[in-house]
Structure 1
Amino acid sequence: MPDMTALIELDRVEKVFDVRRRTGPLRRERRQVRAVDGISFTVPAGQVVGYIGPNGAGKSTTVKMLTGILTPSGGRLRVAGIDPSRERTRLARRIGVVFGQRTTLWWDLPLRDSYELVRRMYRIDAARYRRNLDRCVGLLDLAPLLDVPVRQLSLGQRMRGDIAAALLHDPEVLYLDEPTIGLDVVSKAKVRAFLRTVNTEQGTTVLLTTHDLTDIEQLCRRVMVIDHGRLVYDGGLDGLHAAGDSERTLVVDFERELPPVELPGARCERVEGPRQWIAFPAAASAAPLVAELAARHGVVDLSVREPAIEDVIARMYAASSTAPA
């Protein structure tokens, strides 16, 4: 049964492309590439979801099916109860889309004129347009840029301009495909703060694909990992550590140099003088290890280092690529 509370719903969705490659002077071979392979998930209204995976995993293909740009080869897909490929124009009024490497703004026009064209395309009434434009301009620091032609904007400025354009018509769903790619630290911080505000104050549902895992850590409570067209993880950030068999590290300074300490459920990774690095499962508590170390040896100082999310994801990719099909 479909989930009637879901704003986005995919049920065993597939996308298969026919690819031809040359195998000789006069011969070509045709084969099928399964870009998305039976993916199912739902996203309720108001949720911010990270959708991540390596290049070629199927992220952008999924987003293009969700917007109606591509038609699924199989399965069922609905956004706000609408079939995107059949009612693309109707759906366009309820979604916003930002592709990080492609602008939706008019290249030779000032930013202000691009927004005016967006207003006319979506038939946004004057009061709502002014309210939304003022909010976006204020939160994204766009006031000095409104009279600058888009072609003269930096990448970070253009990206902020694109995000504002995607939200002028109050979409229920915002798809962001690599929205911070190539941006400097300051621009990334502005974009993230704006997205948090839009989600909190407007209740906008956000599906975010990115290679910048800091975006995920700062914006998303839920993350989905796709690899080779298949969903290999769907859950919270904390659960990623368990799914990726990640480890935390206990960094201990002893009173004197010691041989590598041995503790149940842990292993010594490195020794430098009186300091040792002891790895243990991320899902386990550090308290028993700390208590045993303190009871057996003189401890001067210690700290716990959390695993980098990049390492966790890399482990998941590796496990997925070696798993039997």
Structure 2
Amino acid sequence: MIISTEDLRRDYLVGTRLRRRRVTAVSGVTLDVEPGEAVGFLGPNGAGKSTTIKMLTGVLVPTAGRATVCGLDPVRERRELARRIGVVFGQRSQLWWDLPLADSFDLHAAIHRVPQARYRERLDECVEMLDMAGFLATPVRQLSLGQRMRGEVTAALLHSPRLLVLDEPTIGLDLASKERLRSFLAAVNARGEVTLLLTTHDLPDVERLCRRVVVIDQGRVLVDDDLGALRRRFAGNRTLVVELAEPAPPLLGLDGVVDVAVEAQGMRQRLEFSPAATTAAELIAAVGRRCELRDVAVDEPSIEDLVRTLYARGPVSSGKPHSGPLRP
């Protein structure tokens, strides 16, 4: 396992010396992450995400429970763990502000004692894939936010970590910069070189990068499962969009359809249907028997809607991944 936790807990004492109370930030988090996975670790502000990450990286000592990361105890073996993980915080920098970007990379390679040949190979790959050649000689303080975040991810990967922890990596970036960074991270993860643990409020990051989602709130895991499975169980109705060869009246009376919206004078129709009652393929076939089709598309429920549904339902699993079916 790259990450393994059992009943991980972290308490804080808050208040004055005369009147203190105990606040639980993380309560009983059990989590296993296999090598090569890409896991979205989601939750609202104050849910316990950052506290969990700090315990996984050895910054905080757990109040109770256990954790191993890359086979190491994060607290007792923190120095060795630093050689096996990379961390990117969207609102903090690990680059030297007044040095050219290339000098920051050289320093990171020296700190981690990366062999020169391996360093040059990894750096050249990152520079090409992230299109950084034009600003390697630019001081970090003069970089745009998108350029700096590309540099942050590169710095975190130079020593070939087994685990890359990403905390809001695309915060504040424009759409083009976000997509460039997502494509790079997806490619690195697809090769099986690094496991990704991603926390973000930019949910398209999760849809683009992660196959598995862990949702946490009030220090407890609400759900842990494959993203596709969560959509099927909790996301409600789907919408089939059909483009017709000729205008047609509303396609009413089809099995499983709960609502029909007509657009473009009947040339386009949106059929909201229940996945429990019919499938997209069955519905397409039924529409085809009535009208000539030019194009079809299925609008999946957004991950934002899915997460809101999960928060409303409360805990639905034990926090142990893939331990059995979820209770809808």
Alignment of 1:1-325 (within 5 A): 6-20=1-15, 29-201=19-191, 203-251=193-241, 255-256=248-249, 261=252, 265-268=256-259, 277-282=270-275, 284-289=278-283, 299=291, 304-320=298-314
Task: Report deviation, 1:263.
Answer: 6.0
SS at match of 1:246: coil
The gaps in structure 1 that reach 5 residues or longer are 1-5, 22-26
Aligned partners of 2:249, 2:183: CA distance in 1, in Å?
47
- The 8 Å contact of residues 258 and 272 in structure 2, kept in 1 or not, is answered as yes
- The 8 Å contact of residues 250 and 269 in structure 2, kept in 1 or not, is answered as no
Task: Report deviation, 1:313.
Answer: 1.5
Taking structure 1 as reference, are residues 309 and 269 closer, same or farther at Cα in structure 2, changes over 3 Å only? Answer: farther
Q: Report the count of equivalent residues.
A: 309
The TM-score, its normalising length taken from structure 2, stands at 0.84
Taking structure 1 as reference, are residues 138 and 304 closer, same or farther at Cα in structure 2, changes over 3 Å only? Answer: closer
Task: Report deviation, 1:139.
Answer: 1.5
Aligned partners of 1:151, 1:161: CA distance in 2, in Å?
12
The TM-score, its normalising length taken from structure 1, stands at 0.84
Deviating more after overlay: 72-81 vs 229-238? 229-238
SS at match of 1:159: helix
- The 8 Å contact of residues 241 and 282 in structure 1, kept in 2 or not, is answered as no
Task: Report deviation, 1:109.
Answer: 1.3
Indicate the RMSD between aligned Cα atoms, in angstroms. Answer: 2.8
Task: Report deviation, 1:187.
Answer: 1.1
- Structure 2 letter corresponding to 1:7: I
Post-superposition Cα deviations, 1:92-112, rounded to whole Å, max 9, x if no partner, equal 011110011100111111111
SS at match of 2:97: coil
Aligned partners of 1:179, 1:98: CA distance in 2, in Å?
7
SS at match of 1:76: strand
SS at match of 1:216: helix
- The 8 Å contact of residues 111 and 148 in structure 1, kept in 2 or not, is answered as yes
- Residue matched to 2:321: none
Aligned partners of 2:241, 2:136: CA distance in 1, in Å?
51
Aligned partners of 2:70, 2:316: CA distance in 1, in Å?
37
SS at match of 1:35: strand
Task: Report deviation, 1:305.
Answer: 2.5
Aligned partners of 1:54, 1:156: CA distance in 2, in Å?
25
